[in-house]
Structure 1
Amino acid sequence: MAAGPDGPISRWSRSCQLQPAPSLALFYAAWKALLALVVLGCPAPGYDTSITVLTGTHAAPAISKFIRWDSIYFLQAAQRGYVYEQEWAFSYTYSSLVRWLASAATTKARHFAAIAVTGVAVSHVSHALSVLILWWLSRTVLGSETASQRTWCLVSAALHVISPAGAFLSAPYSEPVFACVHFLGLSLYAMALRADHAGHWARRDASWVAAGIAFALATLIRSNGILSGCLFAYDAIEAARELLSHGLSVALVRRMLFIGLGGGIIALAMFGAQFAGYLSYCTATDSPRPWCQQLVPSIYNWVQSHYWNVGFLRYWTLSNLPLFLLAAPMLALLAASSLSAWQHRLGTNQPDPVRRALLTRIAIPQALLAFLALTTYHVQTINRISSGYPLWYWYVASLGIEFNSRIFPRVVQGMAIYGLVQAALFGSFLPPA
């Protein structure tokens, strides 16, 4: 797996340089087909038979194999909306997208089977698009002037194909849609910083606003999307430093205005989702729920804590130790890649001040995600949630391209093996989920 002139990475990259998108699409199709064979080859229906009750005779067995764990909640919400309070833990934006697409595709959109087929299709298409968007994002951040940079971008996108999220990126889950929208938001944000460096103010301002909209949508799909608001917070701090150092100017006021606008759109999305819950449970009933009396009433925080036992150090029990061990490799990759970006050890072969600034910023939400997964979330979910964060892909790719490290093939082999084993567990309705 060496990255030298005659190594497999270089040979593969040279063969893909002329048609990178079709090459990534072919690799994607091959991996998805392999995962599907593993999932479909699992014994059905597994230990949980709820899916057979929900689908009845309408869903093909092939589709029902992809309906596991949280996807049941997502698809039920898509079929008939929220009914129970605990369902607010699952994105209504994602479920609404599936329902709308199912309605556009078939007159039987209210049938659970039609919803399920649409959900599987949405995940496959979203994952395919996110691979291409990550390739575009990588070119925007890392550059594409040299053969080494182009290889770096291609390998990073290919790594997203075999992400440890595995079968979760084929099933009706929010992760593939989140990755697609989140990568788009990061691409727009990177364009804003590139335009700022080049002095193209109009393009910068438009890109900042567009990035804010994309991150807002990502937040509505998965709540961890709010972490990307840290990018605008970082820019706001930089603008405040400039204000203290050089005083007020028209250019600085303009910069602060659009930074605030981009970040404000993200905050508005999160507030809007919580406000909808507040209206449903706190003002439209004579028996408001306990969380309505909290200083900051949040239905999402209440549901996660009350029904799913999510909270600071709550998951730190001896019985969960195997899950921490399962998540340890990904947590280590997230930490190592964030630290590498902060220490400016990524992309050292071709120094670029804008790339350095971007990597430093992009490392912040990823590091926060790793910290929250370790201390607060159900830790094993980091193996799928991390799929929507690009920095660790760049870090792993750099191990093979920049440093020719022996760690690179081991990481890639580990990702592939884990993806296949996880697909078998997923198809059999067995944890971890």
Structure 2
Amino acid sequence: MMSWDSVYILKLSMEGITYEHEWVFAPLLWRFMYKLRVLINTIFQYEMNVYDITLCYFIINCVLLYQICQISKKIVELIIRNDYLKDVSIDSNTINLFTYLRPIGVISLICYSETPAQFFTFYGVYLHLSSFTKSKTFINSKVKYLLSGVMFSVAFGIRSNCLLMGILYLNDLFTLSRKRDKLLSLFTGGILFLSFIYLTYLPYFLYCPERGEWCNSTTKSLVSYLQVTRWNNGFLNYFTLNNIPNFIISLPTVLFIALMNVTLWNVKSVRGLVYISWVYLFTQVFFMNIQIITRVSSFLPITIIALSLGVYECEMKENKLVRVLNDSKFISIYLFGTFIWNFIQPMLFGAFLPPA
């Protein structure tokens, strides 16, 4: 990743699109940096080189990681207020530890889409959670609710897997009691859906039908066509003997996310997030390249929420989560294992080995 996809993002940030396949990844991210580069050149008469762009991405990711910590803290406090009926202030150091020590590791700082997508997703989750009453039966702030859809749309423009956040609005459609709230969930989810339509079919309008090949596919989507024909995505396509090492590397992350989903099932505020996490996990394991789960899963706040609530329950002697997270030893083992992984991961990348 540090050697491969960073080059891709840097090239686009410097030169823009040359070949049609370059429409596939992070369309909003590199366009932002490209426009910033042009703006700086116009105002200051300074031509940013590749090292300047790399430094900008690094600084932006550092700032966003700090903001993600602050947002995560607010998310956890909202959940405790709504589901545990207590107003508490979570220790920032606890949240910071769970945010920084994750399987994504060093990738969170390089020139790629994971950290910006994570920021907008987490911000959208916070706006979504804070828009409800404590009982989560009514929408209390329509502005925050609508803005959550905007945040998820931006996240989708950076990473396509963030489209799954639309499941939140489907969940709201079936759980909210007032008709006007149901209509608002449809409208807000529609913002994300329109973003999907626009970004999916814009390349089609530019290249098709003269281009042929992917233009003639069923979905008319360049992204889905490349996933099937170039990355071998598809149901059980990755279940081959040569991919056993990739499954072994990914297994701890898969099992941990599954455990966190089970853990949070009874926490009403995050039921929609659990649905998203299960759908993502199923798709990643059975349809996609399994090894990328160590980085792509970072857009989900599930693990940070579950671990933080586990610490809270240990201190408050609550018992809403499954028992394993009420044991501080489990949390310590997770942190130690992730710490070791964060050293192994860059060495694998440096040797052009998975996870990629």
Matches within 5 A, 1:349-428: 356-402=267-313, 403-427=326-350
What is the DSSP-based 3-state SS (H/G/I as helix, E as strand, rest coil) of the residue aligned with 1:406? helix
Deviations 1:266-308 (A, max 9, x none): 001111101211112215xxx3232222332111101222222
The correspondence for 2:19, drawn from 77, 81, 84, is 84
What is aligned with 1:353? none
* Higher mean C-alpha displacement, 217-226 vs 135-144: 135-144
Asked if 2 retains the 8 angstrom alpha-carbon contact of 1:396 and 1:411, the reply is no
What is aligned with 2:193? 267
What is aligned with 2:49? 111
Whole-Å separation in 1 of the counterparts to 2:184 and 2:96: 30
* Greater radius of gyration (CA): 1
Deviations 1:338-369 (A, max 9, x none): 12222x1xxxxxxxxxxx32221111111111
* Higher mean C-alpha displacement, 74-83 vs 422-431: 422-431
Residue type of the alignment partner of 2:295 = R
Establish whether residue 212 from structure 1 lines up as the match of residue 123 from structure 2.
Answer: no
Identify unmatched segments of 5+ residues in structure 2: 314-325
Asked if 1 retains the 8 angstrom alpha-carbon contact of 2:152 and 2:165, the reply is yes
Asked if 1 retains the 8 angstrom alpha-carbon contact of 2:294 and 2:355, the reply is no
Cα deviation for residue 373 of structure 1 reads 1.3
Distance 1:421 1:105, change over 3 A: farther
Identify unmatched segments of 5+ residues in structure 1: 1-65, 243-251, 345-355
Query: What's the TM-score, normalizing by structure 1?
Result: 0.72
Whole-Å separation in 2 of the counterparts to 1:69 and 1:223: 19
Establish whether residue 72 from structure 1 lines up as the match of residue 44 from structure 2.
Answer: no
What is aligned with 1:337? 260
The correspondence for 1:317, drawn from 240, 244, 256, is 240
Aligned-residue RMSD, C-alpha: 2.6
The correspondence for 2:33, drawn from 98, 112, 126, is 98
Residue type of the alignment partner of 1:212 = G
Cα deviation for residue 330 of structure 1 reads 0.8
What is aligned with 2:224? 301
Query: What's the TM-score, normalizing by structure 2?
Result: 0.87
Whole-Å separation in 1 of the counterparts to 2:262 and 2:149: 26
Distance 1:147 1:116, change over 3 A: same
Percent identical pairs in the alignment equals 24
Whole-Å separation in 1 of the counterparts to 2:72 and 2:25: 25
Tell which has more relative contact order, 1 or 2 (C-alpha 8 A, sep 6+).
Answer: 1
Establish whether residue 181 from structure 1 lines up as the match of residue 120 from structure 2.
Answer: yes
Aligned pairs, how many?
340
Cα deviation for residue 325 of structure 1 reads 0.9
Asked if 2 retains the 8 angstrom alpha-carbon contact of 1:124 and 1:170, the reply is yes
Cα deviation for residue 311 of structure 1 reads 2.1
What is aligned with 2:81? 143
Residue type of the alignment partner of 1:71 = S
Whole-Å separation in 1 of the counterparts to 2:98 and 2:26: 26
Establish whether residue 222 from structure 1 lines up as the match of residue 159 from structure 2.
Answer: yes
Whole-Å separation in 2 of the counterparts to 1:146 and 1:232: 24
What is the DSSP-based 3-state SS (H/G/I as helix, E as strand, rest coil) of the residue aligned with 2:218? coil
Distance 1:425 1:397, change over 3 A: same
Whole-Å separation in 2 of the counterparts to 1:148 and 1:238: 25
Distance 1:330 1:67, change over 3 A: closer
Cα deviation for residue 117 of structure 1 reads 2.4
Residue type of the alignment partner of 1:304 = Q
What is aligned with 1:254? 180
